C-alpha cells in the first residue's frame, strides 16, 4: 500500500518499488494576458523600498512566448488555457492542480487572492476528459505542483510541507492514487514552495537549496540522489531551482545562474537559458509557468 515516506531507511525501498513513468511529452501553460503584481503573498513581490514590483506586461508576454517556443523546440506539446480578467497570478499554471495518470488533484490555494483560479482549471480538465480527484473538506492547503514534484522516470512524488501545503494532503494523495510520497519540510520563508528549492533532473540527479529544508528532509534528499548540486546563494535568488528538465536532458532555466549552468553542462545536461525576469517579480520562473500533463 502506498504511503508517505518520512525516514531515510524507507527511501531506497520506495524508489525500488516505484513503477515506471514515461517522460513528459505535454505541458499546460496559462496565458499571461492579465499578469501583474497586485498584492504581496510571498517575499519576492516587493522591491528594495518595500513597494510592490511593477510588471512590464509586454515584456512578460514576450518571455512567456519564448518559454512556450523552447518547449516546442524540444518536442514538448504545449496546451494553453486562457486567463480570465481579475486573476493576475493565473499564469503560474503549476499551482492550481497536480495532474497524475490516475487523476487530476485540484488545489486548495492558501491565499484568498488565488482561490478563484482553480474552477477555471477544473473546467479545462473536465472539457478535456480528465478524471478529477477533489480534496476532502478537512484539507485546507494544497498548491499543486508548486509543492508536488514528480520523480523523473518513476511513479513517485516529492511533496513539500510548508506555508502553502499541509502534511495531511500527502496521506490522502498516496492513499487515493497508490503513489508513494516522500515528504519534505520547508524551513525558509523565501522558499515557500518546493519548486523554488528543489529541481529533479533525472532519476539520480537534482539541484537544491539545502538551507531551505530541515535536517530530516535534507537527509531524505541525500539518500535518494547520487548527483546533487547545491546551488549558490546568488543562483538560488535567481530561481535556478525553479528550472524544469522534462526529458532528463534539456534544462529550461532562468538565465544568469552561471555556476549552476556550468555544473549542468559538466554533468551532461543541456541548459536552455531563458529570461523570466518579469515573472520573478511575482516569485516564479520556468517551473511555475507550466503543468506537466500525463
- pLDDT confidence of residue 52: 82
Rounded to 5 degrees, φ, ψ at 251 are: -120, 110
Given this model, what pLDDT does residue 45 score? 65
Question: What is the CA angle 262-263-269, rounded to 5?
Answer: 95
Q: Within its chain, how far is the Cα of 245 from the centroid? A: 11
Domains and CATH numbers, the chain: 4-292 (3.75.10.10)
Per-residue pLDDT of the chain (294 residues; tens, 9 = 90+): 899 999 999 999 999 999 999 999 999 999 999 898 778 777 876 878 788 889 899 999 999 999 999 999 999 999 999 999 999 999 999 999 999 999 999 999 998 889 999 999 999 999 999 999 999 999 999 999 999 999 999 999 999 999 999 999 999 999 999 999 999 999 999 999 999 999 999 999 999 999 999 999 999 999 999 999 999 999 999 999 999 999 999 999 999 999 999 999 999 999 999 999 999 999 899 999 999 999
Q: Bridge partners of 180?
A: 156
Q: Is 229 a catalytic residue?
A: no
Nearest to 217 by CA among 8, 35, 26: 8
CB 223 within 8 A of CB 12: yes
| 137-139-144 Cα angle (round to 5) | 115
Which cell goes with 20? 515506471
Catalytic residue of the set 24, 197, 199, 288 = 288
Exposed, middle or buried, 113 (CB in 10 Å: 0-12/13-18/19+)?
A: middle
Query: Among residues 151, 193, 229, 250, which one is catalytic?
Result: 193
DSSP 286: T
Q: Indicate if 193 belongs to the active site.
A: yes
Question: What's this model's pTM, rounded to 2 decimal places?
Answer: 0.95
DSSP assignment of 233-267 equals HHHHHTTGGG-B-SSSSEEEEETT-HHHHHHHHHT
Q: Name which of 57, 64, 73, 75 is nearest 284 in CA terms.
A: 64
Amino acid at each position: 500500500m502506498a504511503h508517505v515516506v518520512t525516514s531515510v531507511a524507507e527511501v531506497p525501498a520506495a524508489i525500488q518499488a516505484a513503477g515506471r513513468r514515461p517522460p513528459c511529452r505535454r505541458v499546460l501553460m496559462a496565458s499571461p494576458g492579465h499578469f501583474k503584481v497586485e498584492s504581496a503573498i510571498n517575499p519576492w513581490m516587493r522591491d528594495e523600498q518595500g513597494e510592490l514590483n511593477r510588471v512590464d506586461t509586454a515584456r512578460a508576454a514576450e518571455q512567456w512566448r519564448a518559454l512556450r517556443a523552447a518547449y516546442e523546440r524540444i518536442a514538448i506539446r504545449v496546451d494553453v488555457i486562457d486567463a480570465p480578467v481579475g486573476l493576475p497570478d493565473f499564469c503560474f499554471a503549476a499551482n492550481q492542480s497536480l495532474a497524475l495518470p490516475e487523476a487530476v488533484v485540484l488545489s486548495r490555494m492558501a491565499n484568498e487572492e488565488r482561490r478563484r483560479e482553480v474552477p477555471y482549471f477544473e473546467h479545462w480538465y473536465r472539457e478535456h476528459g480528465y478524471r478529477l480527484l477533489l480534496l476532502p473538506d478537512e484539507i485546507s492547503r494544497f498548491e499543486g505542483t508548486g509543492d508536488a514534484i514528480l520523480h523523473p522516470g518513476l511513479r513517485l512524488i516529492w511533496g513539500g510541507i510548508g506555508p502553502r501545503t499541509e502534511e495531511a494532503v500527502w496521506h490522502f494523495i498516496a492513499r487515493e492514487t497508490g503513489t508513494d510520497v516522500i515528504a519534505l519540510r520547508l524551513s525558509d520563508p523565501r522558499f515557500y514552495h518546493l519548486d523554488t528549492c528543489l529541481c529533479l533532473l533525472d532519476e539520480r540527479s537534482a539541484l537544491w537549496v539545502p538551507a531551505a529544508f530541515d535536517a530530516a528532509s535534507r537527509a531524505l534528499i541525500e539518500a535518494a540522489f547520487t548527483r546533487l548540486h547545491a546551488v549558490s546563494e546568488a543562483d538560488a535568488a535567481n530561481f535556478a531551482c525553479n528550472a524544469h528538465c522534462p526529458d532528463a536532458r534539456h534544462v529550461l532555466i532562468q538565465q544568469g545562474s552561471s555556476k549552476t549552468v556550468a555544473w549542468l553542462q559538466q554533468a551532461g545536461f543541456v541548459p536552455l537559458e531563458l529570461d523570466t525576469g518579469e515573472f520573478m517579480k511575482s516569485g516564479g520562473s520556468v517551473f511555475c509557468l507550466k503543468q506537466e500533463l500525463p
